[in-house]
């Protein structure tokens, strides 16, 4: 089978994207998706997404992690798929799509900057050592010092596979405040990739929410990742409740091509 693919990246979180509006790629197997995401034997990506038709929406987002299995919501993926939908002719000032965690709204600024509305958050588990919350995907958030030299892979992996999380898994974010920028630096170990990625949109969102002060008001938090900069804007409405959450940043086409699958 010949596959025509598009490769996108958003702050270095990279994805293979397929236009599946006619259903031609619906039968791809877990092994085939894993193979397409393989950086040596395939196209390479942290995940694969399909652009799908969905009545009542501009499109549906079907997301798979690089292990070939369906993942939960992917923030950078949603931004990249929005840029791709625009390229495919879905030209709306406000784009509405449905993903595994429900409806999303997105706007573009130019061709490769996407603002993506994330689902509201109505609870956060707070522990002296960490926060745990769901921004479309589950995220463990821990503040550390000297994040540049931190062992994200080893420490992230040990949390992801601990007694509590090993069955279902979790994404694990390590966060360091950047006082001069009034922002944060975030590094993430991703479930389903089972490695550190250059950026994780739902993780960056989760980390930014935990960085807000105690006051209920709107916040704008700049976030640095290994792959570039994002901005998270939201309205904190109570001690653990957040609404009108927007993840904003670049989403770019890298290349497109064809690959034959056996």
In the complex with ligand API, the residue whose CB is nearer, 108 or 200, is 200
Active-site residue flag, 37:
no
Specify binding-site residues for substrate. Answer: 13, 65, 75-76, 171, 190-191, 201-202
Q: Which of 119, 187, 191, 236 binds ligand API (CB under 6 A)?
A: 191
Element (H, E) at 48: strand 47-52
Return the half-sphere exposure (C-beta side, CA atoms, 13 A cut-off) of residue 44: 10
- Residue 189 has what DSSP assignment? E
Contact of 252 with 12, CB cutoff 8 Å: no
Catalytic residue among 37, 80, 200, 248: 200
What is the per-residue binding string for ligand API in 132-161, x denoting contact by CB under 6 A?
-----x------------------------
Q: If we measure between CA atoms, which residue out of 26, 53, 44, 19 comes closest to residue 195?
A: 44
**Closest separation between CB of residue 73 and ligand API, Å?**
6
Residue 72 Cβ vs ligand API, minimum distance, rounded to whole Å? 4
Active site residue 80: no
Q: Which two tokens stand for residue 246?
A: 């927007």
Can you give the binding site for ligand API, defined by CB under 6 A?
13, 65, 71-72, 74-77, 137, 171, 190-192, 200-202
Q: Which of the residues are catalytic?
A: 74, 200
């Amino acid at each position: 089978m010949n596959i025509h693919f598009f490769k996108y990246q958003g702050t270095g979180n990279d994805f293979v994207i397929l236009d599946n509006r006619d259903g031609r790629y619906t039968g791809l197997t877990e092994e085939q998706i894993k193979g397409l995401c393989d950086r040596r034997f395939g196209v390479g990506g942290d995940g694969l997404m399909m652009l799908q038709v969905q009545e009542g929406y501009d499109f549906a987002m079907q997301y798979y992690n690089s292990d070939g299995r369906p993942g939960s919501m992917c923030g950078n993926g949603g931004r990249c798929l929005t840029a791709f939908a625009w390229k495919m002719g879905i030209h709306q000032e406000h784009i509405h799509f449905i993903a595994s965690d429900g409806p999303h709204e997105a706007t573009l600024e130019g061709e490769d900057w996407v603002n993506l509305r994330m689902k509201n958050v109505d609870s956060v588990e707070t522990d002296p050592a960490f926060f745990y919350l769901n921004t479309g995907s589950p995220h463990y958030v821990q503040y550390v010092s000297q994040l540049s030299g931190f062992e994200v892979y080893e420490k992230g992996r040990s949390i992801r596979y601990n007694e509590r999380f090993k069955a279902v898994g979790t994404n694990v974010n390590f966060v360091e405040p950047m006082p001069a920028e009034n922002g944060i630096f975030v590094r993430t170990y991703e479930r389903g990739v089972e490695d550190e990625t250059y950026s994780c949109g739902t993780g960056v969102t989760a980390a930014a929410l935990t960085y807000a002060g105690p006051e209920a008001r709107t916040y704008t938090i700049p976030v640095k990742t290994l792959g570039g900069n994002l901005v998270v804007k939201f309205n904190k409405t109570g001690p653990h409740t957040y609404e009108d959450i927007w993840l904003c940043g670049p989403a770019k086409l890298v290349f497109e091509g064809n690959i034959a699958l056996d």
